C-alpha cells in the first residue's frame, strides 16, 4: 500500500470493509526493505482484526421492541375472557405477595446438587404459596393486593437455555415449552387470587439476572391475557405506547409508606 492510513475509516476501506458494518479491534502495520530484481524496494503490510458493529440497546429499547410484537403476543395468549368489575368494600390494608427466584424450568438431580427440582415441584410450591396467601388475605381488611414478580421467575433467558449473561442452565424442556408452561401457571395463579379475594390486584414485574428479557415478555403476555379483566392491573405502556417500568426497581406508596421492589443482584451493594 502506498500511504499509511490515518483513520479507522481509512484502514477499513483499504481492507475492503464497510465502516458502517465493522469496527476495528486491533491494527498492525509493518515496513521493511526487501531485495527485488529491480533492487531494494520498500515494502509495507498491514494486519487488521475487526468485529461487526452491534447497536447497544437500552433496557427500554428492548421493552419497546417487545411491545412491537403486540399482535404475535395476542395470538399466543389466545381467547381473553371478559370479566365484570367486582364489587368490594374499601379496606384499610394493602396486601403484598412477592414471588422471587422461582427459577421455573430448572431441573436438578439430588445426587448432583443435593435437591431434586423440576416442573412438578415448582408448580406444587407456587400452588402452596397461593393457597396460603388466599387463606391469610381473607382474614385481613385488604383494599388491594400487589402481586410482585421480583426476578428470575424463569431459569433461562435464551433459546439455548442460558441466563441473561450466558451461563448454561439445566432445563426440563425447550425454551418455548417452558415459556408457555410458566405463562399458563401464572395466569391460573392470578385468576385464582382474583376470584378468591375479589379485590383489585396489581401485577409488578422486576427483571432478574436469569430472565431479564423473558420476564418482561411474560409480563406483557399476561397483561394481554387479562386486558378484559378490570380487576387485574398491569402497568405496561405509557399513553404514547412506549414501554414503562422495565427498570430494575419499582416504587409504590401506600399511606405514608414508600415501598421499593428489586431483584437485588445490582442494587444490593449500594442500597444503604
Q: Render pLDDT for 97-129 as a digit per residue (tens, 0 to 9).
A: 998 888 999 999 888 888 888 999 999 999 999
What is the radius of gyration, based on Cα positions, of the chain?
27
- Residue 194 three-state SS: helix
Rounded-to-10 torsion of CA 212, 246, 227, 193: 70
Residues 200-219, mean pLDDT to the nearest whole number: 89
If you average pLDDT over residues 38-58, what whole number do you get? Answer: 77
Residue 1 has pLDDT above 50, yes or no: no
5 Cβ neighbours under 8 A, 6+ residues apart: 11, 13, 14, 29, 46
pLDDT at 181 over 90: yes
Across 132-136, 142-146, 215-219, least confident range: 215-219
What number of helices (H) and strands (E) belong to the chain?
7, 8
> And the C-alpha cell for 149?
414478580
**pLDDT at res. 249:** 84
Tell me the mean pLDDT in the region 213-231.
88
Give residue 131's pLDDT. Answer: 95
Instruction: Please check the confidence at residue 130 and state whether its pLDDT lies above 60.
Output: yes
Instruction: Check whether 269 has a pLDDT greater than 80.
Output: no
25: pLDDT strictly greater than 60: yes
The whole-number pLDDT of residue 56 equals: 58
d(CA 157, CA 103): 11
Judged against a pLDDT cut of 50, whether residue 64 lies above it is answered with: yes
User: Which carries the bigger pLDDT value, residue 63 or residue 14?
Assistant: 14
Cα 18 off chain centre by: 33
Compare 249 and 242 and report the one with higher pLDDT: 249
Tell me the CA distances in angstroms from 19 to 49, 164, 204, one per residue in order.
13, 29, 43
Across 123-137, average pLDDT: 94
Q: How many residues does the chain have?
A: 272
The average pLDDT across 47-64 equals 70
* Choice among 24-33, 51-60, 190-199, 241-250 with the minimum mean pLDDT: 51-60
- For residue 201, the surrounding DSSP H or E stretch is strand 201-205
pLDDT band at 57 (very low <50, low <70, confident <90, very high): low
Amino acid at each position: 500500500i502506498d500511504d499509511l492510513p490515518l483513520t479507522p475509516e481509512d484502514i477499513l476501506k483499504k481492507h475492503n470493509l464497510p465502516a458502517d458494518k465493522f469496527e476495528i479491534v486491533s491494527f498492525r502495520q509493518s515496513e521493511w526493505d526487501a531485495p527485488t530484481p529491480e533492487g531494494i524496494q520498500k515494502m509495507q503490510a498491514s494486519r487488521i482484526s475487526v468485529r461487526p458493529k452491534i447497536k447497544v440497546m437500552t433496557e427500554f429499547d428492548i421493552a419497546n421492541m417487545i411491545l412491537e410484537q403486540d399482535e404475535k403476543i395476542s395470538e399466543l395468549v389466545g381467547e381473553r375472557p371478559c370479566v365484570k368489575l367486582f364489587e368490594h368494600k374499601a379496606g384499610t390494608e394493602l396486601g403484598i405477595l412477592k414471588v422471587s427466584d422461582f427459577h421455573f424450568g430448572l431441573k436438578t438431580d439430588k445426587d448432583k446438587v443435593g435437591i431434586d427440582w423440576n416442573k412438578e415441584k415448582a408448580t406444587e410450591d407456587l400452588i402452596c404459596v397461593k393457597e396460603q396467601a388466599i387463606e391469610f388475605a381473607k382474614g385481613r381488611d385488604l383494599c388491594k393486593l400487589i402481586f410482585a414478580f421480583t426476578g428470575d421467575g424463569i431459569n433461562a433467558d435464551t433459546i439455548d437455555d442460558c441466563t441473561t449473561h450466558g451461563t448454561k442452565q439445566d432445563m426440563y424442556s425447550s425454551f418455548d415449552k417452558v415459556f408457555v408452561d410458566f405463562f399458563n401457571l401464572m395466569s391460573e395463579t392470578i385468576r385464582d387470587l382474583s376470584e378468591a379475594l375479589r379485590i383489585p390486584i396489581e401485577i409488578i414485574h422486576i427483571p432478574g439476572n436469569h430472565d431479564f428479557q423473558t420476564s418482561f415478555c411474560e409480563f406483557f403476555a399476561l397483561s394481554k391475557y387479562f386486558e378484559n379483566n378490570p380487576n387485574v392491573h398491569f402497568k405496561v405502556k405509557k399513553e404514547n405506547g412506549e414501554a414503562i417500568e422495565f427498570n430494575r426497581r419499582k416504587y409504590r406508596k401506600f399511606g405514608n409508606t414508600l415501598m421499593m421492589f428489586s431483584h437485588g443482584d445490582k442494587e444490593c451493594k449500594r442500597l444503604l
